[in-house]
Structure 1
Amino acid sequence: MSFFSRVFSYVFNELLVEGLANSKTFQRFAVRTDAALKEAKTSGKLKDLSEATSNPGEAAKRVSEYMRTLMEDGKEVIEEVAKKNK
């Protein structure tokens, strides 16, 4: 049973990686995320993790906003990959 689950996992991961690597939407998402993180780091918005835990309410708000954006972009990626696989 373990062998089959590893094979399935490997095949699924290969298809997922190939689909995302060839997805223009995912590439745009990755570039925008990288730019946003670099900007946040240079502007001081992204602080050290130990400093972020001193205000958990603010950290939770930022995580919530980031996850909302991530989910919206992720839906576009999933739809594009699904269209290519049809």
Structure 2
Amino acid sequence: MGGVLYIGATGSGQDMITMPIMSGLSDLLGVTRQTAILAFQYGDGFTNILYPSGLFMAILAIALKCLIQNGFALLLHYY
């Protein structure tokens, strides 16, 4: 899934690339196509965490800025 992320950046692009392969494999393995689609969705979600972009990176940048401004006091407050 990670290699397909660079070819088709969106979930729809990845779907268009991988679903013909996954549908054939699911038929050969005796797995329903619904399960193959669910596996694709899980894989897409996990790779979006491993290769963060967009909103996730903006949230991390804002969190880091808040931590730097407060001198990491927010983290130490709970200990």
What is the TM-score of this pair, normalised by structure 2?
Answer: 0.36
Q: Relative to total residues, which structure has the larger helix share, 1 or 2?
A: 1
Instruction: Pick the structure with greater CA Rg.
Output: 2
Higher RCO (CA < 8 A, seq sep 6+): 1
